[in-house]
Amino acid sequence: MKITYLGHAGFLIEDSKAIAIDPFLTGNPLAKHKSKDVIADLILVSHGHGDHIGDTIAIAKQSDGTVVSVNELTIFCSNKGAKSHGMHIGGSHTFEGVKIKLTPAWHGSGYGGECPLEYLGTPCGFVFNLDGKTIYHAGDTGLFGDMELIGRMNKIDLAMIPIGDNFTMGPEDALEAVKMLKPGHVIPMHYNTWPLIKQDPLNFKSEVESKTGSKVLVMAPGESLEF
Ligand code: NI
Ligand code: MN
């Protein structure tokens, strides 16, 4: 499968189906893609913050794709004219062969820049299986002990986890997350988009690879790799 890092927490994963996750392109200072470049069957959105819901509506409409998230967020997307499928944490559903389960994430999910913010439900992460590979995208979250359970119940081939600190786990907590998740590979995300979340991903890579059995793939925004 082809994995493209859209920057920040955004990915496009293409195999028998194309899955976009948290496609934040417009207003992302590091993004190399425009929303018109992204075509996806499924658009997974972890929560309602602008740096995650991002270009979801435009991508869903131009792709005739389906937004998958917690129910409150998918109602919001449906009201904006996007096809969507609401779920909730702990629930799974199979979309034309792609099994997706929503996992917990410790974070917020208000939408908009003015009070009162629009409530878009609880944030989430995703475990999904595409063409035999199990992928975990943690969403925006702090470290939590149930990652051990996620790691025990799923043989994770690839985990995308935040390392930026301030809004999410920083690198030290992300290392603990890797120890619990035991993924084959890790892609760090949610760092360096702004100075507040500046991190050195190569330092994270050497820490993880010296202290766990997982390999770290550091991707530049816009970069693709075969996985
Ligand atoms: Ni957020
Ligand atoms: Mn975020």
pLDDT tens per residue across span 91-119: 999 999 999 999 999 999 999 989 999 99
For the chain, first and last CA: distance in Å? 5
Instruction: Tell me the ligand closest to 193's alpha carbon.
Output: 2
CA 134 to chain centre: 14
Separation CA 99–CA 203 (nearest Å): 34
Q: If you measure from the C-alpha of residue 88 to the centroid of ligand 1, how many angstroms do you get, rounded to a whole number?
A: 18
Tokens of 224: 């693709």
Q: If you measure from the C-alpha of residue 177 to the centroid of ligand 2, how many angstroms do you get, rounded to a whole number?
A: 18
Looking up residue 144, the CATH number of its domain turns out to be 3.60.15.10
Instruction: Tell me the ligand closest to 189's alpha carbon.
Output: 2
Residues lining ligand 2 (ion), CB within 5 A? 51, 140
Separation CA 130–CA 217 (nearest Å): 19
Q: If you measure from the C-alpha of residue 139 to the centroid of ligand 2, how many angstroms do you get, rounded to a whole number?
A: 8
What confidence category does residue 136 fall into, taking pLDDT thresholds of 50, 70 and 90? very high
Where are any strands of DSSP class E within 10-140? Answer: 10-14, 18-21, 42-44, 66-70, 83-87, 92-95, 98-104, 110-111, 118-119, 124-130, 133-137
Count of the separate structural domains present in the chain: 1
Residue 59 is part of which domain span?
Answer: 2-226
Mean pLDDT to the nearest integer, 149-162 = 98
What tens digit of pLDDT does each residue of 7-30 get? Answer: 999 999 999 999 999 999 999 999
Q: If you measure from the C-alpha of residue 113 to the centroid of ligand 1, how many angstroms do you get, rounded to a whole number?
A: 13
HSE-CB of 120 using CA atoms within 13 angstroms: 26
Separation CA 211–CA 223 (nearest Å): 27
What tens digit of pLDDT does each residue of 160-194 get? Answer: 999 999 999 999 999 999 999 999 999 999 999 99
